[in-house]
Amino acid sequence: MFRRPAVTLSLALALVVAPGIAACSSGSAAAPPAPSAPASQPNAPVRVDVPTWMGVAMSPGTVVIDVRTPEEFAAGHVQGSLNIPVESADFAQRIGELDPAATYAVYCRSGNRSAVATAEMATLGYAHVYDLEGGYADLDAAGMPTA
């Protein structure tokens, strides 16, 4: 006589608990959508590898910016690039004179200064900014036209 209620209770628990366990599985259920960035957040620059950066840089209308020192620029640079040193006092002013709707490909020696420069460009409202993951030596070795 006690056996029947125990079986019924076990069955009832199995019916209640099983859907909860299934809901926790990572099977084919879709992940919740990622939260969208607030509208006031600046555009993030895109950090890209050498082949991708070269493709962007050689596209018509792209402005190539070298953010190294004038001495580094004089020692060798991507043909047609502008030298706007990120460490200069007038960096923000000089960047501010450029068209915010244009596409920019930015590089330095190793990728550190270009990351700083492109982050600053994003805060100034530049939406199409590509930051080279790597540096000038990588571009030269990959066959980018240099001067």
Catalytic residues: 108
37: amino acid identity, one letter: A
Total Cβ atoms within 10 A of residue 65? 25
In whole angstroms, what is the distance from residue 80 CA to residue 89 CA? 23
Q: What is the dihedral of CA 48, 79, 65, 116, to 10 degrees?
A: 60
